[in-house]
Amino acid sequence: MGELSSKTADQTLDVLGRVCPYPLVLTKKALEKMSSGQMIKVLCDAPASAEDSLPKFAEKQGFKFESVKLPGDTWELYIQKS
């Protein structure tokens, strides 16, 4: 397990079955309500969001990011707000 995935998330956001741009939009909205240092776990099955838009968003914002690929096309994405 990685640094973030070994911790308990402050919030879990399930965007399974949603396609771009919804995972990114919903994640941004959830993070806006969170305090600095808090972490969200996003459950996502949209490859474009899990492998491209969400990691790029986190990097651009300076947030810590970790992705865990689960069996099948599902990811657990961990984003810690800075």
Q: Distance between CA atoms of 44 and 9, rounded to whole angstroms?
A: 15
Selection from 62, 60, 58, 20 nearest residue 77 by Cα: 58
20 is catalytic: yes
Q: Exactly one of 5, 9, 18, 20 is catalytic; which is it?
A: 20
Q: How far is CA 14 from CA 18, 21, 60, in A?
A: 9, 14, 22
33 neighbors 45 (Cβ within 8 angstroms): no
| Residue positions annotated with a catalytic role | 20
